[in-house]
A and B are shown apart, each in its own frame.
Chain A
Amino acid sequence: MSATTYGWLVLAFPLAGMLIITFGWRALPGRLPGWIATSAIFVAFLASIGALIDLLDHPEEERQLVDSLWTYAATAGFNVDLAILVDPLAVFMCLVVTGVSFLIHLYSVAYMGSDRGYARYFAYLNYFVFSMLLLVLAANFVILIIGWAFVGAASYLLISYWYRRATAVYAGIKAFVINVIGDVGLVVAAFLILDNVGSLDFLPVFEQAGDTFSTNDGTLVAACLLLLVGAFAKSAQLPLHTWLPDAMEGPTPVSALIHAATMVTAGVYLIARTHPLFELAPTAADIGAIIGLATLLFAGTVALAVTDLKRVIAYSTISQIGYMIMGVSIAAYGAGLFHLMTHAFFKALLFMGAGSVIGAMAGIQDMDRMGGFRRAMPFTFITFTVGALALAGFPLFAGFFSKDEIIAFELNRGGGYSVLGILGYVGAFLTAFYSFRMVFRVFYGDPVPEAVELEDGHIAHGEPMNPMTGEPEDTDVGFPGPEHHVAEREWPMKAAMGTLAALAIVGGSLSVPGLTDVIEKFLEPTFEDSRFHDTAPTDGAEILGLVVGGALSILGIGLAWWVYLRQPGTATRLRERLPRLHGFLVNKWYFDELYDALFARPAATAGAFSRRVIETDFVQGTIVGGATGVVRVGTSFARAIQTGYLRAYALLLLLGVAGLTLYFLLNSS
């Protein structure tokens, strides 16, 4: 089979899994839907490996294969095919997406075991993975946009999966609305490209872009900025990031899926995929890099103060995606995508660990209520710590090699990019600190009652309540179900977490400076037209970057240890010393309030104005009221005649007949 056939199979299996569960869920007992969905993704993963092997058989310059099933839309002089592009970038993304998604499915089989919407959950999950695979395999902008929109819809369905919980529904709507802003940017960008280049297929567009546009051509910069709007909305970058922390309303494995394998990496993929355009529009690329940097610093500071365990991880995702966006924007494609992969490993792992802890806490997500889970859940403790070490960039763990490679690229390009690099190191320090803030607060310290109970072998079963508002609620579906027994008690969860922990440890070895260069070598055919080949740092510079990054990481972890273990209470004292700063961070730099004041409230005011003045006064009062008034006045005479007395009618009849008779008599002569 050729690589493209494997590509179609990669798409087919998740779709088939979704359809089987959707239409057959009544006939599927117990955990069967979960296993069907999991095996569908696993087969898709095998197909991705098949595509990889077949692609490696091709000579390097023939590794961009396009295959079309049929013509999707045909108009005069312009056709869109339902076509996939199988090239190293697409295969790389497929491997990451299907591989990590498979483990998340496996985890979900046990984690969602007590949920009443079990089959629905797995149908959504397969749909999500299918959408993401369609996005990364698309060979033209139309199919890309379709996959893009599917991903948005799937995220909406999964974020508001517990649809009886009002906050979850609002979070889903918020995610969907912000994603649609990005969709609009992407669609307009595709239109600009079609208008100027005359094609929407990736390969012809990239070939002709150089002839059509001069460097920094105004139209191209506009198109690239609009592409960035799309990328920022999906990847939760400033200023379109507000949906991602709220997306924590979904089940924890969904958070893992959104943050690690699918969805948020789409923006990084988009920039990498359209890199020939961004290289022709360096202004747009620089803006992307600066926003990536701003986002990573912003999210890093917020993660220092937020106490919701899942939200800390969410802000860490925003921050890490900032690194990736910065990387692919400055032409460090291999490094950015390498970080995407390692991040997928350790972020999925961290979410799974968090899910395990939340399960043990019977749904409570607040770190202030947690502590001392080290002995109660040794497996979760070890794997979570591995994930945190990888996230912090501790030497030899996965994040160590990938993150510092991006920064080394920036320092190597010099000039303003050095500033990006140095600030990137600040972000790395923050990352190390907040990663271990989580570890120390959740697993160390005095065991909370739930942890003690778990050590005795009992799992806490709390009252059903909303973890965001703390209000009791009757969600009927969802976690914490009355019979839930998560908290690392089941082997599928342990298997998924163990595999990811192993990957988070060894994943970095794929790209050790001076030793291995697997990722960049493999992605080479996609990025061979890059103009920035010579800006890649030398091995020596990369190793220096690694030393600095590793030192900062150890420093950050050490500081966290000092603040939370050595001198417990330091954090509280700091918070009391700097209440303004703490409030600023806890309220996420007041972004939600800003958007509320800028968009939500003016819209509500305009709505109230329309309701009061336009609807009530103008439409109801003037138009409708005026028409009825005219009719009422006009009919008052007719109503006066209708006395109801038979005699009066008879008289009128008689007078009428007499009048008519007189008329004809007078006219007849």
Chain B
Amino acid sequence: MDVTWYLVLSAFVFAIGAAGVISRRNPLVVLLCLELMLNAGNLALVAFSRMHGGEAGQVFALIVMVIAACEVVIGLGIIVAMYRNRLPIDIDEMSELRG
């Protein structure tokens, strides 16, 4: 099977995730979309790994999964903290970094 199809699928999933990150205001959904983007990257890595017959890409994919897990831990932690402080669950409300 040609690697192109895997890459096309990966690009679609990445684009969907990116669009979600950019357009959605619910942090939970943003986190889900980030997951999508990471997994799109994983898909591309595994596809290339298979094409070249090496295992480096698969190892990278495993590392990305670990990073994704960490990211989810932190992201969910922030969301829980917002909830506990009765803050609106809306990332546009958190714009204190405005210059």
Contacts and interface: CB of A to CB of B under 8 A. Distances in A.
Contacts of A639: 99
A650 interface: yes
A164 B98 CA distance: 56
Contact of B92 (A640, A641, A645, A651): A645
B98 A646 contact: no
Interface in A627-652: 638-647, 650-651
A646 B94 contact: yes
B21 A647 contact: yes
Given A647-B91, A647-B92, A642 B99 contact: yes
A642 B98 contact: yes
B91 A644 contact: no
B18 interface: yes
A646 B99 contact: no
A640 B98 CA distance: 8
A45 B22 CA distance: 98
Contacts of B94: 644, 646
Interface string A597-639: 0000000000000000000000000000000000000000011
Contacts of B23: 647
B21 A644 contact: no
Contact of B99 (A640, A650, A651, A654): A640
B96 interface: yes
Interface in A26-69: none
A646 B18 CA distance: 13
Contacts of A644: 94-99
Contacts of A646: 30, 91-92, 94
A654 B98 contact: no
Nearest to B27: A646
Nearest to A635: B99
Interface of A is mostly: helix
A647 B33 CA distance: 12
A654 B22 contact: yes
A643 B91 contact: no
Nearest to A641: B99
Contacts of B97: 642, 644
A644 B92 CA distance: 8
Contacts of B30: 646
Nearest to B21: A650
A643 B98 contact: yes
B79 to A, nearest CB: 13
A647 B22 contact: yes
A651 B20 CA distance: 11
Contacts of A638: 99
B15 to A, nearest CB: 10
Nearest to B96: A644
Contacts of B91: 645-647
A434 B32 CA distance: 106
A643 B95 contact: yes
A662 to B, nearest CB: 14
A641 B21 CA distance: 18
Contacts of A642: 97-99
A606 B18 CA distance: 67
A651 B22 contact: yes
A660 to B, nearest CB: 15
- Most chain A beta carbons < 10 A, residue from B23, B30, B99: B99
A412 to B, nearest CB: 93
A650 B22 CA distance: 6
Contacts of B25: 647
A641 B22 CA distance: 16
Nearest to A643: B98
Nearest to A638: B99
B22 to A, nearest CB: 5
A654 B33 CA distance: 14
Contacts of B95: 643-645
Contacts of A651: 22
A643 B91 CA distance: 13
Interface string B5-27: 00000000000001001110100
A655 to B, nearest CB: 10
A376 B46 CA distance: 119
B4 to A, nearest CB: 16
A247 B72 CA distance: 82
A646 B97 CA distance: 9
Contacts of B98: 642-644
13 contacts: A641-B99, A643-B95, A643-B99, A644-B95, A644-B96, A644-B97, A645-B91, A645-B92, A646-B30, A646-B91, A647-B23, A647-B25, A650-B21
Interface of A: 638-647, 650-651, 654
Given A641-B99, A643-B98, A645-B95, 12 more contacts: A638-B99, A639-B99, A642-B97, A644-B96, A644-B99, A645-B91, A646-B92, A647-B21, A647-B22, A647-B92, A650-B18, A651-B22
The 4 closest A-B pairs by CB, nearest first: A644-B95, A642-B99, A644-B98, A639-B99
